[in-house]
Structure 1
Amino acid sequence: MYADPPAPQPLQPGETPPSGGTSGVPAPGAAAAWEFNPDYQRLIVLWGQVVPLLDTLDASLDKAYRMGRSRDVWDAPVGERYVKDLTEWKARLGQYRQAILTSISDQAADTPRWIPVDAGAPHAFS
């Protein structure tokens, strides 16, 4: 089983934009107003949509796997092959989950949380 990468963090109550002295900020006086990056927010929403779907797929395979291993359902050599196939599908789903969530997490790490209102900052979906 894989551990999920870190999820993009939503805007926290009381969170404020960066001060002018942080790295990666335009020159002083270039931007006075900041906004929470809408592209970063889209990554948060995407994570929230993808994880439940992946969990549903995983639960479906788990249920079929448990039923396939039960001798009440299937007691034949073909049942063993079915369980072996389900084991492979579960491994593939774990790899897909890792790839998808890592991609979202990496993109969130590369996308600034706050952007100057009047500047063209790099965005995730450019």
Structure 2
Amino acid sequence: MNCLDRLLSVLYVSTSAGLAWTAVLEYRDGPVWAACLFAAAALVPVIAVVREAEWRERAALWPVHPAGPALVGPALVGVAEDVVRAELEAACCERWWTSCGTDHDSGCPHRVPRSSAA
């Protein structure tokens, strides 16, 4: 954990504490719905701290290229592009995309003939 990570975590925790204190004050002196709103908002920075820690753990598991970590980023981008390309090639026809999956082009192999029976 470097200095920036620590600073960000401290910022998240202090924001959460401030929102929790505001929730307590609203509960004592204000409307209950506002206290519930501030209490829910106080949980959001805590979730951010947990996600940051989880991201750091996942980043530690990324493969390191022998030439250095600078080549890992483009390699991961290439893999992501290959996955997206394969998914787009496996997708249906143009009309399926534009009609949110309700219609197919006449030459589409996934076209299901509509029955005229009601």
TM-score range, shorter chain: 0.3 to 0.5
Question: Comparing both chains, which one has the higher relative contact order based on Cα–Cα distances under 8 Å and sequence gaps of 6 or more?
Answer: 1
Whichever structure has more helix as a proportion of its residues is 2
Larger Rg: 2
What is the TM-score with the length of structure 1 in the denominator?
0.41
What is the TM-score with the length of structure 2 in the denominator?
0.43
